[in-house]
């Protein structure tokens, strides 16, 4: 089965349509800015994201 190829133009059109729908939802009061931000976020609202810079630096620069 062949995979469908998506063009940049198609991706751009979908993004513009999604933004227009979001703008209309905000204008109509259907959703709050905070709820929209959460809806569009790649991380859940209760996610805790940590970054151990020292460990990253050790792995990146001292692992040779």
Q: What is the pLDDT of residues 52-62, one digit of tens each?
A: 999 999 888 88
Q: What is the pLDDT of residues 7-24, one digit of tens each?
A: 999 999 999 999 999 999
Q: Which of 41, 45, 21, 42 is nearest to 31 (CA)?
A: 21
Q: Looking at residue 64, what is its pLDDT?
A: 62
Please count the other Cβ atoms lying within 10 Å of the Cβ belonging to residue 37: 11
What average pLDDT does this structure show over 2-8?
89
pTM of the model: 0.61
């Amino acid at each position: 089965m062949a995979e469908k190829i998506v063009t940049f133009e198609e991706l751009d059109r979908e993004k513009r349509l999604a933004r227009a729908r979001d703008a209309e939802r905000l204008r109509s009061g259907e959703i709050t800015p905070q709820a929209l931000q959460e809806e569009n976020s790649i991380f859940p609202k209760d996610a805790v994201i940590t970054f151990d810079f020292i460990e990253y630096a050790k792995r990146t620069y001292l692992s040779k």
